[in-house]
Amino acid sequence: MTSSEFGYDNPALICMDAVLSMNRKYAGFVKPRIDNFRTEYPSIDTLDALRRLIQLKGHEGFCQVWNYRHVARVELLERLSTKFLTIAEQEGQISDLVAMRDWAAKVDVMDHLNFNVKGIGLATFQYLRMLLGVATVKPDVHISRAVALALGEGRSLVEAISLLEHASKQMGLDATYVDHNIWKHFSQKA
């Protein structure tokens, strides 16, 4: 899967999706907010435009923009946007999206330890990589459950990612596809 398969060719929406998705149900919470933002703010298609909008509205005001009263998440969105703008600048990229995709392809799961965006952990780091087209896995309760069921015992999240990436490759499947199907299977049982 690529970011366009997730419906994103907009770096601002990628960052918003990743931040909104933290501990929230996708279909009922994240998707409606992303769809509404896309409709109401079609000109916000760069990270700089997103940051300017956050600065214009203020953190409290941006809560109204994306219909989520969680100032800390707005602050996280701003930090994440700034991080990717810095990466783009360091890489000499003109396009935020190209710089983000290049970053996602170059890093691996252990690089989450050095990402240095307060509030972004392993799961969101991996989800960002997936949104940017990397065939990988986002560790969550469903992934942990699937690995534990398959092996008869649990593994660390990093090990679960590695095992599922390896198994996906052995089966000739995209790891993101496997991740999504595990998520669908176990989320329907929850």
Q: Sketch the domain layout of the chain as residue ranges.
A: 1-122, 135-190
Q: What pLDDT sits at residue 3?
A: 40
Q: What pLDDT sits at residue 98?
A: 95
Q: What pLDDT sits at residue 190?
A: 58
How does pLDDT run along the chain (190 residues), one tens digit per residue? 344 446 689 999 999 999 999 999 888 999 999 999 999 999 999 999 999 999 999 999 999 999 999 999 999 999 999 999 999 999 887 799 999 999 999 999 999 999 999 999 999 999 999 999 999 999 988 889 989 999 999 899 999 999 999 999 999 999 999 998 998 888 876 5
For the chain, how big is the Rg over CA atoms in Å?
17
CA atoms of 152 and 158, how far apart (whole Å): 17
CA atoms of 31 and 152, how far apart (whole Å): 34
Q: Which of 170, 167, 107 is nearest to 182 (CA)?
A: 167
DSSP the chain: --TTTTT---HHHHHHHHHHTTTS-IIIIIHHHHHHHHHH-TT--SHHHHHHHHHHHHHHHHHHHTT---HHHHHHHHHHHHHHHHHHHHHT-S-HHHHHHHHHHH--GGGGGG---TT--HHHHHHHHHHTT-------HHHHHHHHHHHSS---HHHHHHHHHHHHHHHT--HHHHHHHHHHHHHHH-
- To which residue do tokens 């000739």 refer? 172
Q: What pLDDT sits at residue 170?
A: 95
